[in-house]
A and B are shown apart, each in its own frame.
Chain A
Amino acid sequence: MSYQKFFNPEESYSRSEIEALQLERLQATVKHCMDSPFYKERFRKAGLSPSDIRSLDDLKKIPFTTKQDLRDTYPFGMAAVPLDKCVRLHSSSGTTGNPTVILHTQKDLEEWANAVARCLWMVGCRPEDVFQNTSGYGMFTGGLGFQYGAERVGMLTVPAAAGNTLRQLKFFTDFGTTVVHAIPSYAARIYEVMCERGIDPRRDTKLRTLVIGAEPHSEDTRKRIENMLGVKAYNSFGMSEMCGPGVAFECPEQNGMHIWEDYYIVEIVNPDTLEPVPDGEVGELVLTTLKREAMPLLRYRTRDLTRILPGECPCGRHHIRLDRMKGRSDDMIILKGVNIFPIQIETILMQFQELASDYLITLETVDGNDGMTVDVEMKDLFIDDYGKLQALTREITRQLRDEILITPRVRLVPKNTLPKSEGKAVRVVDTRKKY
């Protein structure tokens, strides 16, 4: 069957068409933001009114929005529509500090599905494909986000959700899965189990396309996954504050992720000065939503570090391309697609009176799998009993898992054995293969 190249007409807009649409939508968004108690107050304090936004350049007059703003207004203080117009929320994990909430109207969900569908269509997903999603569903946006996007494309969807690799493999072979969404470390795990079971992905499955994202990974990791599974693997970028997946996605050129500028205005700023960085330089990604109803966000500091790739993309799309994420401008850890702040771990550890105050979080790749080890110092007064020490280790592990949704390896270490640098403790060591 032959299909059109672009999923939406906006996808092929020229720069001037994109920018004209952006200005129109920015002005509408700013006006709509006045229905949000948070933004109304913020504009009042800044002495700004929606009519001050006359050009895209005027965006700079608007103060930044931060994750702390989302926490401070938890749960519904940012809403720009009455709650009865909202049909879903997604919330961050964790119970320490305030989590964040993102609200969606029915139209928001439709736009989100459209953006994800556009991404999938771009890399060749078509209605005859079978799409299997190995993301956790529920609050994790990689589940429902890809589900609705894949349905919008018209693919047969297999909402397998996370884990149970043998069952995933059975679905591959029984249902003829052609497209899989998986975090990179899970793609490696799938291959491992295939090898154990004598399954040759090229011979025994119809896998063709892998969507990998939500976890920082290197070009080498992508190549390895492609070679292992005999597929093309495309990098996906999203975050729950911007709905989830569908924000930026690689095209068949596999050279940078097109960010959909009819949905977002992109700025890259120096995280210290908050001034724009010159084109092509790495800085913090700042996004303004252009079509969101329930919870528009103006100049949201994502804390992700990246750069805009210069030049035109041979694929014919003029939406700018983001380079792979280069890290974070805060201390957030992204492990297996889960966002974790060290303070969450610290808060749990400090509840144990047996433990001293120093700890070290190590992120490492072992056999292609990313994992976390938490070393924590014991207090001076310690227990001369292996059974009790092991029970203590298990209890710490359980409580950490409940908080961060990932099971770390917990090691009790003697006091004064963890590294300190210039009096300030090193809390996180990341040796994963990425970027």
Chain B
Amino acid sequence: MTVHQLSVFIENKSGALVRVLRILKQEKIQLIASTIADTADFGICRIICSQPEKAYNVLKEAGVSVSLCEVFAVELDDRPGMAADAIEIFAREGISIAYLYSFLLNGKGVLIFRTDNAEKAAEVIASNGLNVFEEKDLSRLL
């Protein structure tokens, strides 16, 4: 019910992000979505990509601080208000969202998010009939 996300710890310093992206390029790994929030001293770059396990291994081998985690990827119709409806369901069930980002992929909206209670989120997704992407779905769309 989830997809893999890479979380890369990078210094707030020029060249730090390029180094990570160049490694992925060499391995012909394609980014599907990525986000960085900024703080004064460090950033966490979150990446959804093709072959996430391979990406994790090559980054780790290159000495990059990286972790691989599971996030939800909810599929939405590409229409106004769909994100509001989806997130309202989670809010109603008392599930708080740690972070969230979204993008469009082949005519579908995708909401990526992580919650503090993955088990309950999975139940809510199932009981409300929300569509979620699996790892293989993402790769197929590329």
Contacts and interface: CB of A to CB of B under 8 A. Distances in A.
A313 interface: no
Contacts, number: 43
Contacts of A1: none
A384 B41 contact: no
Contact of A412 (B41, B64, B114): B41
B67 A414 contact: no
Contacts of B9: 378, 382, 412, 414
A382 B65 contact: yes
A415 to B, nearest CB: 5
A28 B65 CA distance: 63
B41 A411 contact: yes
Contacts of B11: 413-414, 417
A385 B98 contact: yes
Contacts of A416: 63
B10 A414 contact: yes
A386 interface: yes
B84 to A, nearest CB: 25
Contacts of A389: 42, 44
A380 B69 CA distance: 14
Contacts of B46: 384
A391 interface: no
B39 interface: yes
B67 A381 contact: yes
A417 B65 CA distance: 10
Contact of B65 (A385, A386, A411, A415): A415
Contact of B63 (A384, A386, A415): A415
Interface string B95-128: 0001000000000000000100000000000000
Contacts of A382: 7, 9, 65, 67
Interface in B30-52: 37, 39, 41-42, 44, 46
Interface residues of A, number: 17
A299 B10 CA distance: 50
B60 interface: yes
Q: Which among B11, B41, B44 has the greatest number of chain A C-beta atoms within 10 A? A: B41
A416 B63 CA distance: 7
A384 B10 contact: no
Interface class of chain B by DSSP: strand
Contacts of B60: 380
B39 A380 contact: no
A231 B46 CA distance: 56
A411 B7 contact: no
Contacts of A380: 60, 65
B42 A412 contact: yes
A106 B60 CA distance: 64
Nearest to B11: A413
A389 B67 CA distance: 14
Contacts of B44: 384, 386, 389
Interface string A398-435: 00000000000001111111000000000000000000
B42 A384 contact: no
B30 to A, nearest CB: 21
A414 B41 contact: no
Nearest to A385: B98
Contacts of B41: 393, 411-413
Among all A-B residue pairs, the 7 with the closest Cβ atoms: A384-B7, A414-B65, A416-B63, A411-B41, A414-B9, A382-B9, A382-B65
23 contacts: A380-B65, A382-B9, A382-B65, A382-B67, A384-B44, A384-B46, A384-B114, A386-B37, A390-B39, A412-B9, A412-B41, A413-B11, A413-B41, A413-B42, A414-B9, A414-B11, A414-B16, A414-B42, A414-B65, A415-B63, A415-B65, A416-B63, A417-B11
Given A380-B65, A414-B11, 10 more contacts: A378-B65, A384-B114, A386-B44, A411-B41, A412-B41, A413-B41, A414-B10, A415-B63, A415-B65, A416-B63
